[in-house]
Amino acid sequence: MSEFIKSSRDGGVAVITIDNPPVNALSPGVPEGLRDAIQAEAARSDVQAIVVTGAGKTFIAGADIKEFAKIRAGERPRLSLNPVANAIEDCPKPVVMAVHGTVLGGGLEIAMAGHYRVAAPATKLGQPEVKLGLIPGIGGTQRLPRLVGVAKAAEMCAFGEPIAAAEAQTLGLVDRIAGADLLADAVDFARSVRGVPRPRTRDRVEKLGAASLDALRQQVRRRLRGQEAPLAAIEAVEAAARLPFDEGIEFERILFEQCLHGSQSKALIHVFFGERAVGKVPGLPAGTPGEVREAAVIGFGTMGQGIAMAFANAGIPVSVRDNSDQALARGMEEIRGRYQGAVAKGKLDTAELERRVARITPLGSIAEADLVIEAVDEDRARKRVVFSAIDQEAKPGAILATNTSSLSIDDLASATNRPREVIGLHFFSPAQVMRLLEIVRGRRTAGETVAAALQLAKRLGKTGVVVGDAPGFAGNRIYHAYRREACLLAEEGTPPEAIDAALTEFGMAMGPLAVGDLAGLDVGWKIRRAHADLRLDGGRYPQIEDLMCERGWFGQKTGSGWYVYTEGQTPIPNPAVLELLGAMDGLRRVASAGEIVSRTMAALVNEAAKVLDEGIAARPVDVDIIFVTGYGFPAWRGGPLHYADEWGLTAILDQVRQRHAGSDAVWTPAPLLERLVKQGQTFSEFRAEL
Ligand code: T1G
């Protein structure tokens, strides 16, 4: 008997429990053990039905994703689990799957190989394989349409979003919603189906009517631009309507193998584990970090409001302060308005709206707050005054955080008597939405404070990445190098819209110039002036955005920047900017899309290598996750440094050296990049010992 599988009997019903913490993944030994246990129980004369359930917080949550790297590397054969699913389905006695938690991927596929499914009320069920660059590989694309119909199955497999148990029951994917005791209800259900013909999912063809999936394909091409697996998933589901089951399974296998050995799956699995790895920072104190049970936000502008919403959304009461009563009143109205927008979209109900608004208290006391964060103007003197004041008012041990995007944490900490509790929490706008939270560690920030910030990030549903205290921290500094090249390309004669188009085609969520318009060109302008001393002698720096700001063209907030924004119309390139560019001296030429991508990406990678070398980011995976979760870098390319490894560091270094030779000091090759190339190493091997 497998170590992962336990069997017992309850009055003629066998109960088989899968126990492979933490998520009952289908690791080697689990599917085989389950098959053997089902066959052994079915052979018993005192068993008339079988219930399968999962121990812990969830039923099977999928294949063991760690195995795919081994299969890709040829360390392990890709063992199809279809024979296991077929063996379950062919069991001569009814098999009832008692499911709870997150029944995902291979977990749902095994559940569908059962004859019936009984689900706990809060269960989520889905085929999220496309989020790993894969498609279902144990018959999901063939059994799911047989239970819910082709159109719904195609949508579920293409977008990978799970559905709730109630919807699954309505669709026919779940046969019963359990009460408080899932196992008891599942055993009771099993008793009720003893001796009746068992419906093998593969034989249920009544819902297999062909459905037009063209609209879905268009939606996928728009929303999941560049990704291959979603379209493959649709193709596999569509085949279920026209091929016999076993041929459909073979068709699915072919498409699955193509995806598994493609670069997008490797990149997306890198991101899956990377998002979890960044939260594991070596050297932090053991033990449970301090919990933030109550928070406070000082400064109630757009960022302060977003941060307050992030706390309220996570169930954390938050007091909010501002030096203007009007700002407080306006801020509360704007927050309520945003929540009402979510209600209108069906993402929130009104009861939850009221609960969240009630958690935000204007002018509340900060004396009991476990964490106080300031989000006042990006002005050093003002922030120091605020820090000094909250240091007096906050309770001993409370964390004092700043949302600064460019000022020194150490400098702000020196305005307090508790530097060990001072930390940067760099939220990205809109703070209640963006997943990235840069956790900026000052030289005197205590490990306990860092650990508490990482725990808070997870509680807020964000991806916390710890970075060092230096201008621009990690993300903005690297992103600035990438945007610098985009601006220089425009000054050299490439149309701005061509620059943005090349990079959105590459997979960036937005073009770098459009991002400037969105964030406000004046923000960068202010930072450039504050950090003018950091410019390198002999470096080439674009002038265009300074010229635009001098004319008040800040982007969307002023109606024009790189583009002109007119209500209800698609933004158009700003003729006034094109005129400014045309009047600039120097070589005029139009770069190809390929050059735009390779030049901006080489600049990004080179700066990232400098940030790693300086220890501002600890690991390449930290940079990858910063860019995937905070800067719209395509996850299916794995993040900038995973992409660089795929591109080839030698080619990147050649590009950097060529540009440096063109007497631009900003293109000085990063020492780390030169070392890796010299040693024939990749970023993925850098500091792998961490
Ligand atoms: N395989 C291996 N490890 C997994 C795993 C998996 N499927 N899911 C989670 N883990 C690890 C994770 O790395 C972390 O490890 C720990 O479990 C807790 O995870 C053949 C091809 C289930 C909703 O895509 O969505 O089936 O960091 O922090 O927030 O057709 O994990 O502790 O060392 O995320 O409670 C399809 C992926 C696979 C589900 C739980 N299944 N997992 O969230 O915990 S492909 C998925 C999740 C497949 C078949 C196809 C979430 C979760 P560590 P966690 P959580």
> Which residues have any ligand 1 atom within 6 Å of their CB?
22-23, 25, 61-66, 102, 104-106, 109, 128-129, 132, 134, 136-138, 140, 276
> pLDDT digits over 486-511, tens only?
999 999 999 999 999 999 999 999 99
Atom index in ligand 1 nearest the CA of residue 58 equals 22
Identify the residue whose C-alpha is closest to ligand 1 atom 34: 276
Q: How far apart are CA 510 and CA 515, in angstroms?
A: 6
Q: How far apart are CA 319 and CA 426, in angstroms?
A: 19
Cα 265 to its chain centre, rounded Å, is 15
3-state secondary structure 540-587: CCCCHHHHHHHCCCCEHHHCECCEECCCCCCCEECHHHHHHHHCCCCC
| Ligand 1: centre distance to CA 136 (Å) | 15
| Ligand 1: centre distance to CA 57 (Å) | 12
Q: Which of 32, 109, 438, 497 is catalytic?
A: 109
Q: How far apart are CA 105 and CA 59, in angstroms?
A: 11
Q: Residue 633 contacts by C-beta under 8 Å, 6 or more apart in sequence?
A: 507, 508, 624, 627, 639, 640
**Rounded average pLDDT over 367-381:** 94
Q: Which of the 8 DSSP states describes residue 457?
A: H
Atom index in ligand 1 nearest the CA of residue 272 equals 13
With a cut of 90, say whether residue 363 has pLDDT above it: no
| Ligand 1: centre distance to CA 460 (Å) | 19
With a cut of 90, say whether residue 364 has pLDDT above it: no
Q: Which residue, among 339, 561, 316, 354, has the nearest Cα to 462 in the 3D structure? A: 316
Q: How far apart are CA 409 and CA 232, in angstroms?
A: 48
pLDDT of residue 664: 77
> pLDDT digits over 111-144, tens only?
999 999 999 999 999 999 999 999 999 999 999 9
Cis omega (within 30 of 0) on the bond before 145? no
Q: Which of 32, 41, 89, 129 is catalytic?
A: 129
3-state DSSP assignment of residue 5: strand
pLDDT of residue 689: 47
Q: Residue 660 contacts by C-beta under 8 Å, 6 or more apart in sequence?
A: 667, 668, 669
Residue type, 539: G
Identify the residue whose C-alpha is closest to ligand 1 atom 15: 276
Measured in degrees and rounded to the nearest 5, phi and psi for residue 109 equal -65, -40
Q: How far apart are CA 479 and CA 638, in angstroms?
A: 16
The architecture CATH gives domain 5-261: Alpha-Beta Complex (3.90)
Provide the Cα torsion 338, 343, 346, 351; round to 10°: 130
Q: Which residue, among 309, 640, 287, has the nearest Cα to 461 in the 3D structure? A: 309
Q: Where is 126: in which H helix or E strand?
A: strand 124-126
pLDDT of residue 170: 98
**Rounded average pLDDT over 200-229:** 95
Q: What is the DSSP string of 236-304?
A: HHHHHTTS-HHHHHHHHHHHHHHHHTSHHHHHHHHHHHHHHHTT--TT--SSPPPP--SEEEE--SHHH
Q: Cα separations (Å) of 213 from 148, 151, 173, 217, 236? A: 15, 7, 21, 6, 12
> pLDDT digits over 248-300, tens only?
999 999 999 999 999 999 999 999 999 999 999 999 998 888 999 999 999 99
Q: Please indicate whether residue 109 is annotated as part of the active site.
A: yes
Q: Please indicate whether residue 378 is annotated as part of the active site.
A: no
Residue 402's DSSP bridge partners are 374, 424
Q: Which of the 8 DSSP states describes residue 531?
A: T
Q: Of all residues in the chain, what percent carry a pLDDT higher than 90?
A: 88
Same fold for the domain at 295-469 and the one at 476-685? no
| Ligand 1: centre distance to CA 87 (Å) | 25
Q: Which residue, among 60, 237, 64, 210, has the nearest Cα to 135 in the 3D structure? A: 237
Q: Where are the domains of the chain?
A: 5-261, 295-469, 476-685
295-469: CATH topology: Rossmann fold (3.40.50)
Contact 51, 93 (CB under 8 A): no
To test ligand 1's pocket by mutation, which of 24, 64, 65 has the most ligand atoms within 8 angstroms of CB?
Answer: 65
- Reported as a pLDDT band with limits 50, 70 and 90, residue 1 is low
Q: Of all residues in the chain, what percent carry a pLDDT higher than 70?
A: 99
Q: Which CATH class is domain 476-685?
A: mainly alpha
> pLDDT digits over 187-208, tens only?
999 999 998 878 899 999 999 9
Residue type, 329: A
Q: Where is 320: in which H helix or E strand?
A: strand 318-321
**Rounded average pLDDT over 510-518:** 96
With a cut of 90, say whether residue 99 has pLDDT above it: yes
Q: How far apart are CA 635 and CA 227, in angstroms?
A: 10
Structure tokens at 15: 């109960």
**Rounded average pLDDT over 605-624:** 96
Least confident span in 19-33, 76-90, 482-496, 567-581: 76-90
pLDDT of residue 75: 83
Atom index in ligand 1 nearest the CA of residue 128 equals 24
Q: What is the pTM of this model?
A: 0.95
Q: How far apart are CA 385 and CA 416, in angstroms?
A: 10
Atom index in ligand 1 nearest the CA of residue 138 equals 30
| Ligand 1: centre distance to CA 529 (Å) | 45
Atom index in ligand 1 nearest the CA of residue 276 equals 27
**Rounded average pLDDT over 555-571:** 94
Q: How far apart are CA 651 and CA 649, in angstroms?
A: 5
Q: What is the DSSP string of 323-386?
A: S-HHHHHHHHHHHHHHHHHHHHTTSS-HHHHHHHHHTEEET---TT-SEEEE---S-HHHHHHH
Mean pLDDT (the chain, rounded)? 95
| Ligand 1: centre distance to CA 25 (Å) | 7
- Reported as a pLDDT band with limits 50, 70 and 90, residue 690 is very low
